[in-house]
Chains A and B, each alone.
Chain A
């Protein structure tokens, strides 16, 4: 069973990278890891009461969760597991450890570097780390499309693209 790392920025739109990745994945079941870079706080009290669960709860909004569930329902026979794994490190060594620790086999990243919006939830880009590592990468075409206020939820992009 392969484990795939896919960068995410917690927008419903970015789930379409996952959708494309799963479309191109032909054989067997896979484990999906959605990767996200998040700096840890410098405050000792914040670290003392740190819990991944609550951080993730803050990051995942309803739309993202819904989009994730749609994909999980659609590809339920292909996805063995899907989880979000935060990366807190600063350098390439830390990222290599992250890859090793999560037993990641390869990664699927968007073609253009500007595709993700990390400022949206105060995170940082892990794509440069992925590119520098000796991980096999596959690129998919993906451009961010912001939902304008007139368009309501951005779920429809995922559904109509």
Chain B
């Protein structure tokens, strides 16, 4: 069952139950009240008629006048007075055809009420001024209760029917209101696939739960994208870096085997092959090390790291891959206390990010030196990587973070346009900032800002 329907059902049933209890209570209390009210009317009539018939004097006449003026005749109104002291009392009581319990109650408690079908009876034990006891019976049909209650019943039923409709509509719109942001999230989620993993959900500002949901989902996408790109990155690096030494080995071996050669030639060839194989093994190790970024299904744990250590490790790895380039590290602006160097993060991911930038710097600067500097302000650790390579054309700058985009001047340098977007994602995951600035054919400067861990 859809959540929307569930909400509608639950809401309507709660409201309906409430309305039913409410109208039931009203019906019950009104019915009670109208019975009580009618018995009291009968009682007044009984007392007044008894006074009029059994007493004499001015008071009696006044009462009679009031009765004629203000007390209307009830439907089927009948008043019977039984003299208890007379001989015919028993017979008179029998003639009325009323149950004995009612009469006995009337004698004991001085008043009693009884209802038979539509006729209501009221009994009053009356003691006249001459000390004679009478039983006064008043009976009438209750026009009010039959008609008024029917009217009340009708109006309550109509009200319930109307409220059911209104309740249903309200719950429908309410459920739509509740589900609407969810729907929009689902719609947006459906558009995200492996081709556009860089898309993210909009974070709603007001709805706390949905905000959390979107944030969690975006976070998951961040990790997914990073792992996805890490694999691509590995493949791109591997295919490029491993191919060159392999081609060299194969070429050397083929040329050597072409004809018979002297022992010295074989030795020289084998030395070359060994050298290349050595390089190959080093590169494979370095690449595998980079590929082990921890995206192996295990939960990522952030640890307290020293940013200079991470930087040094990255430089070492890249030096293995690009032995032609020299990487100069400038630590002259390091702070005096190591506390200021601590950052919270995943060392492997950060190393991957930094080494990617270093690889780029080395790859596109043809054996020229690469400069790395590290400084620390009160809030950020700032790493700057500078090379004097081919740079990035101005018109390409806006697109450098797009996956698979490569600048127009890359020429013979192989690559797949994966490193920089991946690096930016990794830096973003650490709440850092990546600023790339470049002048074509002069230099490229990459600035990484990572927030320092606050000891508190």
CB distance from A70 to the nearest CB of B (A): 4
Q: Are B336 and A77 in contact (CB under 8 A)?
A: yes
Q: Name the residue among B377, B378, B435, B447 with the largest chain A CB count within 10 angstroms.
A: B377
Q: Are B445 and A73 in contact (CB under 8 A)?
A: no
Asked if A115 lies at the interface with its beta carbon under 8 angstroms from chain B, I say: no
**Distance between Cα atoms of A148 and B337 in the complex (Å):** 33
Asked if A155 lies at the interface with its beta carbon under 8 angstroms from chain B, I say: yes
- Closest chain A residue to B328, Cβ basis: A160
**Distance between Cα atoms of A74 and B337 in the complex (Å):** 8
**Distance between Cα atoms of A138 and B52 in the complex (Å):** 131
Contacts of A153 in B (CB 8 A): 435, 437, 447
CB distance from B190 to the nearest CB of A (A): 38
1/0 per residue, CB under 8 A from B, across A57-75: the answer is 0000000011101111111
Asked if B334 lies at the interface with its beta carbon under 8 angstroms from chain A, I say: yes
B residues 332-362 near A (Cβ < 8 Å) are 332-337, 340
Contacts of B439 in A (CB 8 A): 148, 150-151
Q: Are B382 and A160 in contact (CB under 8 A)?
A: no
Tell me the count of chain B residues lying within 8 A, CB to CB, of chain A. 27
Q: Are A70 and B333 in contact (CB under 8 A)?
A: yes
Asked if A50 lies at the interface with its beta carbon under 8 angstroms from chain B, I say: no
Asked if A48 lies at the interface with its beta carbon under 8 angstroms from chain B, I say: no
B residues 409-449 near A (Cβ < 8 Å) are 435-439, 445, 447
A69-B378, A73-B336, A160-B384 are known contacts; what are 11 more A-B pairs with Cβ within 8 Å? A67-B377, A73-B340, A73-B376, A74-B332, A76-B335, A150-B437, A150-B439, A153-B437, A156-B384, A158-B375, A159-B384
| 28 sampled A-B residue pairs with Cβ under 8 A | A65-B377, A69-B377, A69-B379, A70-B375, A70-B382, A72-B378, A73-B340, A73-B375, A73-B377, A74-B332, A74-B333, A76-B335, A148-B439, A150-B394, A150-B437, A151-B445, A152-B435, A152-B436, A152-B445, A153-B435, A155-B384, A156-B373, A156-B386, A159-B373, A159-B375, A159-B382, A160-B330, A160-B384
Chain A residues packing against B (C-beta within 8 Å):
65-67, 69-77, 148, 150-153, 155-156, 158-160
